[in-house]
Structure 1
Amino acid sequence: MCGLAGLLRPMPDAGAAQLTELARAMGDQLAHRGPDDSGVWVDADAGIALSHRRLSIQDLSPLGHQPMASADGRYVVAYNGEIYNFGALREVLVARGHGFRGHSDTEVLLAAVSEWGVEQAIAHCHGMFALALWDRQERVLWLARDRVGKKPLYYGWAGDTLVFGSELKALWRHPAFDNAVDRDALGLLLKYDYIPAPHAIHERSFKLMPGTLLRLDAATVAQGAAAHQPERDQRRYWDARERMTAAIAAPFAGDRREAEQHLDTLLRDAVAQRMVADVPVGVFLSGGTDSSIVTALMQAQSTKPVRSFTIGFEGSHHDEAPLAREVAEHLGTAHRELYVSGADALAVVPTLPDMFDEPFADASQVPTALVCRLARSDVTVALSGDGGDELFFGYSRYQRALRNLRWQQRVPAPLRRLLARAARQHGEASRTGGFAALAAEMGARGVGDVYRQRITRWRDPDAALLGASTPATIYDEPQPLRGAGTAADAMMLADFMTYLPDDLLCKVDRTSMAVGLEARAPLLDTRVAQFAWSLPLAFKHDGGESKVLLKQVLRRYLPDAMVDRGKRGFGAPVTAWLRGDLREWADGLLDPAQLRAQRLFDADLVQGLWRQFLGGERKWHTHLWNVLMFQAWHRHWQAQRAALATPPRAG
């Protein structure tokens, strides 16, 4: 895994030395993502500079160095990720006359682009990746991101210069990047705990959408500096909603036993592809269904004990370490567990703004950071179980939303409309139960509205912000699948397209890359996703049991007693932290004078929630945590701006 950064000037008015110095400085901000090697490539006449930091996974030799040029010299790429089918692509390309010096997937990617062109080549690649590719002949920059959104890619404008990188800290390094906080994006943070793509925390800055290509030349960079519209300018080469709709229209025709066999075969291959590396590989093991099935399939295909890792929490009823230990002993893995105290966990909190460099408020980022640190002491690659919940109906909130939808559909439409108006007037009160909560549920227009009540933090974030208008997302659509499939399918799609890439995968990427660890998610192989979408709901949820088919596959490797047990969760005791060890820290960040000076929040409203929380109201911990995560990030960003006040200038 690696980090990339770069810039493109609309007018090539900077010398090669200036561009090289600036691109290297941008790339060096990502040294944690690639501690093994670094490189810079510039074409001053075209105003382009690419920077790369390398974490060596495939082809550890200098033949894997980046930025890398194609054999014909036309294309140059800075690339972050893994193409899991690169071996098969290489065979096809050799048959078409291409030669290879090394055995990296980067070299295969470049040969594929030379053979088929950018758009077709990317469509052939299956894996996790983000890349910046320069076409020297056409003088065009292509930015691309994998289908699911496993790897990040930010871009934006610093003055009139396009800047891009794996993390925002690379963009900050450009001397003209002084973009203010995007208040609308901040509203999304308050609503969801994260900022969904294509939005980013800064004005004139964006995340590339999953499954998307962006084509840029000097003219479009100049135009975009004034009025870039990401939804218009980005090209989708893979669309989850379209793929799910097509899978539903052509459902799996076999019985449950045949589906079990097919899923086992798909997962075995997906896991095997992700075990390929020239460095040690391990697995995160929590003891739940998803991580257990990945671990079982790894061990079934390994000639030696797989290295597995678990974090345990002292004195916590959420401790999963005993479950993971039982699974590890049964499978015969080389297991390591680390028990951490509350003090150990709290020590991570001050590092979060630098680790994420965009405000992020999923508190499970803390234990995730700890397990990544543990795994990195032994391995360079770790497989995870991410994706099982979104594909196989794993969240209990899905069941609650379906129950509430059934209740809501019994209410006459005129009464639902009245209740919807009443809910809008009550705002945040709908979080605390009573009539406001009932009105919010019963006033829904469809499953999308019902499900949004289950997942949002601030119900009306604009009321807490000054001058914000929170953008709509797929969660604001009454019917996310637009009439196809079931209500359950619609909820899983919304999470797959938004919560999965922008919360879960973001969390794993930042916490793993902070310690130079590559994380891979075999359950998110697109073949597995498209098969899951073709299955009837009864194969996923039946009689109150979730992940039915996944558990049937798991029974091939573990006894029933290890399969049929509830998951304990991987969260963090935020309420206890804020009323205990973190209270002084929170008091400082929520200081009314500081909030008023920022002119972003309604200071009285935030302080009111803080006082109610300290007085015993349990519901406000999520509202306060995302405000605190923003405040901590804002302080960090201001410090970074001050530290970079006199950087090298170019452009």
Structure 2
Amino acid sequence: MCGIAGTWFPGTRDDASLHALGARQGEAIAHRGPDDAGTWADPAAGLVLSHRRLSILDLSPEGHQPMLSRDGRWALIFNGEIYNHGALRAELATLGHAFRGHSDTEVLLAAIGEWGVEQALQRSNGMLALAAWDRKQRRLWLARDRMGKKPLYYGFASDGALVFGSELRALRAHPALEAKVDPDALALLLRLDYIPAPWSILRGVHKLPAGTLLSLDMAALQAGASALDPVRSPKRWWDALAAQREAINHGFAGGDQEALDTLDVLLREATAMRMEADVPLGAFLSGGTDSSLVTAMMQAQSAVPVRSFSIGFDSLRHDESAHAARVAAHLGTDHTELRVDGQAALDLVPSLPVIFDEPFADSSQVPTALLCALTRKHVTVALSGDGGDELFFGYSRYARTLRNNGWLGKLPRAMLANRVSEPGESARLGGLAALRAELRAGDLQGLARHRISRWRLPEAVVIGARRLKTAYDEPDALPGVGTPGDALMAMDMACYLPEDILAKVDRASMAASLEARAPLLDWRVASFAWTLPMSMKSRHGQLKWLPKQLLQRYLPNPLVQHPKTGFGAPVGDWLRGPLREWAEAQLDENRLREEGHFDPAPIRRIWKAFLDGERKWHTHLWGVLMFQAWREKL
């Protein structure tokens, strides 16, 4: 796990200035890799690559980056882990490749030299973001892993240079990058709590989508931003939606026992691959199904107690620490629990814009950041249970959406034809307003969008904003086969998982210089999950049925059948209490008007309604507040 950055100018540059710029970009993301730093430049091409290293495999200098291939053709910077690097190394050795050390970076570089970038990616099992420079063809390759575990931003500066990196701050280290807020992306933040790829909060800066690569030659660089379409230019080297269609069509021919055995084998292997490290390793253990299953798999394959970590809160609504402790005791892990009072969480709020780098408003960012900081005091790598809900139908909103979709199917077409295009903000209050909004949604995709939206009409709040479409709007984002439940999970796999869940874990863990790994998101586990019928994911009202059945092989039933608790923070209580003065300053009407990003009227109206006791408005307000706090740091 590391940080990467670079700049490519449309013309030659002197070596010293390139290295100085690369060093500044690397220093901006030093938290991602505190163990080593490196820059490499090709002055004749105007290119510099920068790397910050968190040493996990091969702690020796042989793992240093940027790394050059033996023949000198390729230069590589790479953030992530290739879990099957041992098998790839053996295959490459039979083809005549020799290796100096035992890092996965060296294996990936040899694979690129042997098969090319796209084939090397397809043969790899891991998480990654990379920049590979082909010195022979003068071509730059940028790529992101299948599931979107690792981030990669790119954009053009005003001097014509292409700037790229793991975080926005690495791009902003280039003095010619214009840091102007994109109102369309800001509206997405208010709707979703995050800004999905390919957009970012800065106008003209984009995120590379999961499973894609971008290949640029000198002609493309000189053409600049006008020739680069953030939606169409990236090429899919792994198409998750196509893989889902194929898996659904193929189906799973076995019964319950065969499915359990297959998941057990696949997940054990995926977990074992992610336990390889030359540094201390542990697990996040919330006590939920997914984290308990991953921890159980780790302990079953470890000769010593696995280090496990959980966080406890003084608010019982958000505290699962007692259950996590019981799971840890049964599994026999070496368990560490951090007790957090409200003040510790509040003290973290001013740091959120720095930790997350881009405005981000999922309130679970607070406990996630606290947990990562605790864990890093003891280990350098931690395995998580991320991905289980999106693969095995784990969210209660899925069941509610399918129920309401059934209602829509029974309504007269004339009633649906008269629906308004989008529900207003009153839909957030529940009751009849929420019911009307559900009925107005019109179809499954509209219902899903309504369920995940905070502000229903954010473009009416953000000045100058247009509505950008996401996987919750585009019909092409649906598999077109399978059940409505499959479609709901597909939308989340395309948007919510990579751009909220995985982005949150990446920023929070990297802020603490901690590597997080997710066995459930091994592409082979995902491909198997997509083959399963819905009856193996939701049965007799029990969500995530198959993983729960598998967990009973490792835990007694009372520890498995535990109600799901959200991993959030009591934002509403904070905003009415100790954060009220801070929030009032951020939401000051004159300030909002002078800054020019928001129409103050609806924000002030909701702020007053919230203080007067109306429920749920804190979710609307938190997105505005997180942007305001981030803007102060810009």
**TM tier, smaller:** over 0.9
Structure-2 residue corresponding to 1:532: 529
Distance across 2 between alignment mates of 1:551 and 1:433: 31
1:138 maps to a residue whose letter is Q
* Structure 1 position 141 matched with structure 2 position 108: no
1:143 maps to a residue whose letter is L
TM-score (normalised: structure 2): 0.99
Distance across 1 between alignment mates of 2:130 and 2:510: 16
Contact residue 7 and residue 163 of structure 2 kept, 8 A:
yes
1:475 counterpart SS class: coil
Structure-1 residue corresponding to 2:149: 150
1:252 maps to a residue whose letter is F
Structure-1 residue corresponding to 2:543: 546
Distance across 1 between alignment mates of 2:189 and 2:227: 23
* Structure 1 position 451 matched with structure 2 position 420: no
Give 1:230 deviation, angstroms.
1.4
Distance across 1 between alignment mates of 2:236 and 2:127: 16
Contact residue 348 and residue 366 of structure 2 kept, 8 A:
yes
* Structure 1 position 428 matched with structure 2 position 425: yes
Give 1:176 deviation, angstroms.
0.4
2:52 counterpart SS class: strand
Distance across 2 between alignment mates of 1:315 and 1:136: 57
Distance across 1 between alignment mates of 2:344 and 2:631: 24
Contact residue 408 and residue 442 of structure 2 kept, 8 A:
no
Deviations 1:421-475 (A, max 9, x none): 2x63x52122223544333211233211111111100101111011100201110
Distance verdict in 2 for CA 1:480–1:51, change over 3 Å: closer
Deviations 1:527-574 (A, max 9, x none): 000100000000000010011110111111100110111122211001
Distance across 1 between alignment mates of 2:161 and 2:93: 39
* Structure 1 position 398 matched with structure 2 position 398: yes
Residue from 494, 497, 502 that aligns with 2:499: 502
Distance across 2 between alignment mates of 1:456 and 1:171: 30
Structure-1 residue corresponding to 2:71: 72
Aligned identity (percent) is 59
Distance across 1 between alignment mates of 2:614 and 2:119: 55
1:620 maps to a residue whose letter is W
Deviations 1:176-208 (A, max 9, x none): 012310110001001000001000000110000
Contact residue 479 and residue 490 of structure 1 kept, 8 A:
no
* Structure 1 position 267 matched with structure 2 position 262: no
Distance verdict in 2 for CA 1:135–1:37, change over 3 Å: same
Give the stretch that moved more between structures: 207-216 or 429-438. Answer: 429-438
| Unpaired segments ≥5 residues, structure 1 | 638-651
**Count of residue pairs the alignment pairs up:** 633
Structure-2 residue corresponding to 1:24: 23
Give 1:5 deviation, angstroms.
0.5
Structure-2 residue corresponding to 1:199: 199
* Structure 1 position 441 matched with structure 2 position 462: no
Contact residue 284 and residue 308 of structure 1 kept, 8 A:
yes
Distance across 1 between alignment mates of 2:629 and 2:235: 35
Residue from 561, 583, 588 that aligns with 1:586: 583
Listed as ranges, the matches of 1:230-629 within 5 Å are 230-418=230-418, 420-421=419-420, 424=422, 427-477=424-474, 480-629=477-626
Give 1:479 deviation, angstroms.
7.4
Distance across 2 between alignment mates of 1:585 and 1:407: 43
Contact residue 380 and residue 515 of structure 2 kept, 8 A:
yes
1:131 counterpart SS class: strand
TM-score (normalised: structure 1): 0.96
1:633 maps to a residue whose letter is W
Contact residue 220 and residue 227 of structure 2 kept, 8 A:
no
Give 1:238 deviation, angstroms.
0.7
Distance across 2 between alignment mates of 1:479 and 1:219: 31
Contact residue 154 and residue 166 of structure 1 kept, 8 A:
yes
Give 1:320 deviation, angstroms.
0.6
Listed as ranges, the matches of 1:91-130 within 5 Å are 91-130=90-129
Distance across 2 between alignment mates of 1:600 and 1:634: 10
Distance across 1 between alignment mates of 2:569 and 2:6: 36
Deviations 1:599-646 (A, max 9, x none): 110011111111111111112111100000000001111xxxxxxxxx
Give 1:257 deviation, angstroms.
0.5
> What is the root-mean-square deviation of aligned Cα atoms in Å?
1.1
Structure-2 residue corresponding to 1:644: none
Distance across 2 between alignment mates of 1:199 and 1:479: 19
Give 1:598 deviation, angstroms.
1.3
Contact residue 131 and residue 144 of structure 1 kept, 8 A:
yes
Contact residue 9 and residue 218 of structure 1 kept, 8 A:
no
2:46 maps to a residue whose letter is G
1:7 maps to a residue whose letter is T
Contact residue 392 and residue 532 of structure 1 kept, 8 A:
yes
| Unpaired segments ≥5 residues, structure 2 | none
